[in-house]
Amino acid sequence: MSNFSIDSLLKSVFQDESKVLDLRQLFDDKLMEYDISKTKALNILSIDKDVFDEIVSGTAKQPSIINILKISQFLEVELNEVVLAVLKNQSPENIAALEKAKKVSFLVKNFDVKKLSKIGFFEDTDDVDGLIERVLTFFGFESILEFESELANPLFSQGKRKFSDKMKDFWINSAYQCFKNINNTNEYNREQLKDLIVKIKPYCQDVENGLFTVCKALYNIGVTVIIQHQLVNTQVRGGTFVVNGRPCIVLTDLFKKYPTIWTTLIHELHHVLYDLEIIEKTKFHLTGDPDLFLIEEKADQFSMDFFCGIEKFNFIKNHINNRFVVERFAKEMEVHVSFIYSAFRFYQDKLYKKNYYSAFNEFFPPYALAINKVNPITWNEGSLKEVSLKIKQIFELNTI
């Protein structure tokens, strides 16, 4: 009874066309070998004749696993082979019920159907086949088996989390598949990234084109950056992946603030520079998730210091209500003025436990203006392959 696997059995039932055991013939052969009658054998096994005939003919609607075990022992055949033979002989109606059960199991195991319907990813929550088709089309797979072997297992089989957050897993799977589809062929060069990072800051002053320009430059040195809209109940600001041997970064619109998009990008680039070897082993790292291996404070501090660190805050805090001073200060620092107000909010909270997060909103540009050219991924996309190829195309065009 070794290697008994429900998944492998169902796979064989639905996809394997090879010949299965003829249980009736095997049983007759055993009767001859043991020189006993069928009635005697069934009495010994405590199986009713009609029940036995229904099992081997496939007409039993819910065959007892105990009886199947008995038959397996009598025939001296592996249990999974007997079960497969019984399943293969089932009526089309029973096979369809098994297939539907497998589909439902796949859905409830991997997706929060209710929440995904609420955000518009699913349209019809009652049609199982429709839900499966939507998932497979979105991720670009032909079957449930392909999804599980190509996507879910490689990412989560190593026990990265002890529990499953289905919405977060969905977000992770989407990003991972998008990076696979883009398949950036530019070689990653750490020294080039170090040279590029020091040139990034001035581009944050250009709300409409700056982020796109930087993402395009990163793509050319092997670092792919995409933007995915936040999913309900997830608190992920961004993440760093290693896909096809290259660093990949995904940003979200979690707080819907222009400076946050940039500080998150720099945060993730810190991980690319200093934590890539660890991330390669664990497949990905999410900013906002607890991680025993990475020190988030270093990446946070790096991103804050990059645009407006505590020394700059200490200078400007006494002038924060003087718009002209703040604007001149921002210009000297080569940052958009919203970064000064964002740093003021952050350090007031961190150092003094004072909440200024509702102040100075008029100085923050629309974050959507910054991410539009990067073609952010939404949850009403038809397929990730289409949107991935569009992102790849805009990054590989010679002009902005």
What per-residue confidence (pLDDT) applies to 292? 55
Give first-to-last CA distance, the chain, whole Å: 62
What per-residue confidence (pLDDT) applies to 4? 47
Tell me if 147 sits within 8 A of 135, measured CB to CB: yes
Query: What is the spatial distance between Cα 32 and Cα 25, in angstroms, rounded to a whole number?
Result: 11
What per-residue confidence (pLDDT) applies to 2? 43
What per-residue confidence (pLDDT) applies to 293? 61
What per-residue confidence (pLDDT) applies to 315? 96
With b for 16 or more beta-carbon neighbours within 10 A and e for fewer, the 86-125 pattern comes to bbbbbeeebbeebbeebeeebbeebbbbebbeeeebbeee
Query: What is the spatial distance between Cα 235 and Cα 175, in angstroms, rounded to a whole number?
Result: 15
Query: What is the spatial distance between Cα 65 and Cα 6, in angstroms, rounded to a whole number?
Result: 13
Query: What is the spatial distance between Cα 86 and Cα 57, in angstroms, rounded to a whole number?
Result: 8
Q: Tell whether the torsion through CA atoms of 37, 38, 42 and 43 is positive or negative.
A: negative
What per-residue confidence (pLDDT) applies to 348? 96
φ and ψ at residue 226, rounded to 5 degrees: -125, 165
Predicted confidence pLDDT, tens digits, the chain (400 residues): 444 455 555 555 555 555 678 889 999 999 999 999 999 999 999 999 999 998 888 777 778 889 999 999 999 988 888 888 887 777 677 777 778 888 898 999 899 999 999 999 998 767 899 999 999 999 999 999 889 888 765 566 544 444 568 999 999 999 999 999 999 999 999 999 999 999 999 999 999 999 999 999 999 999 999 999 988 878 889 999 999 999 999 999 888 999 999 999 999 999 999 999 999 988 899 987 766 566 788 999 999 999 999 999 999 999 999 999 999 999 999 999 999 999 999 999 999 999 999 999 999 999 999 999 999 999 999 999 999 999 999 999 865 4
What per-residue confidence (pLDDT) applies to 93? 74
Query: What is the spatial distance between Cα 51 and Cα 65, in angstroms, rounded to a whole number?
Result: 12
Q: CATH code for 6-90?
A: 1.10.260
Q: What residues does each domain of the chain span?
A: 6-90, 95-157, 184-396
| pTM for the whole structure | 0.82
